[in-house]
Amino acid sequence: MRWMTGALVAVNVAVYLLWHTMRSPAGVRWLAANFLLSTGAVTQGRLQTLLLAEFSHIDTTHLIFNMIGLWTFGRAVERAIGSWRLLYLYVAGGLLASVGYLVYAALVHSRAPSLGASGAVSAIAVVFACLYPRAWLVINFFIPVPAMLAVVGFLILDIVGVLSPQRDMVAHAAHLGGALFGGLYWTFWLRPRRRPAYGA
């Protein structure tokens, strides 16, 4: 029985609920200190934000879309590579996504905080596309697109977002950092050990 995808979704939802049910100012400050990633947080020694921000959502729509992606890609990837490798992919992909965001924030002199599972989900989505490149995804709920084409398209949008920042409140660099780890993990670990059962 595969359970890791559901557990990761549950943790994300739990942190979201904490944001929306915490009433004490001290509790809100604790959440902000531990679940928001920024250059300031890291320079102050709060390195836990590199990972914890990847489980953190405040906006409902942000949570819903990330969890749809995590559930859709995560279940298939978990079936193919196993629960613990999926957890590793989420955590390591999320960490590299956070590093990507920090590098970009430093380059553009931004102290804005970042949060959300998008970077970790990007890592999982890249592995999904490599495992099942011809699987059909439905974009915007009605446009069918092959998985590899869809993921490459989103990565191109992220590259454009990094090169031409529009202040759209999207951490494009984090997406690219997570996607980079997904590609590396597939290329140097999963693909050499790929079994016929993975399919394509």
* Residues paired with 137 in a beta bridge: 145
Catalytic site residue from 57, 62, 172, 175: 175
- CA separation for the pair 154, 157 (Å, rounded): 5
Q: Going by C-beta distance under 8 Å and a sequence separation of 6 or more, which residues neighbour residue 199?
A: 80, 131, 132
Counting every residue written for the chain, the total comes to 200
Active site residue 175: yes
| Cβ proximity of 51 and 101 under 8 Å | no
| Cβ proximity of 200 and 131 under 8 Å | yes
| 130 class by beta-carbon count within 10 Å (0-12 exposed, 13-18 middle, 19+ buried) | buried
Active site residue 118: yes
Catalytic site residue from 118, 122, 164, 172: 118
| Cβ proximity of 104 and 27 under 8 Å | no
- CA separation for the pair 136, 67 (Å, rounded): 19
Active site residues: 118, 175
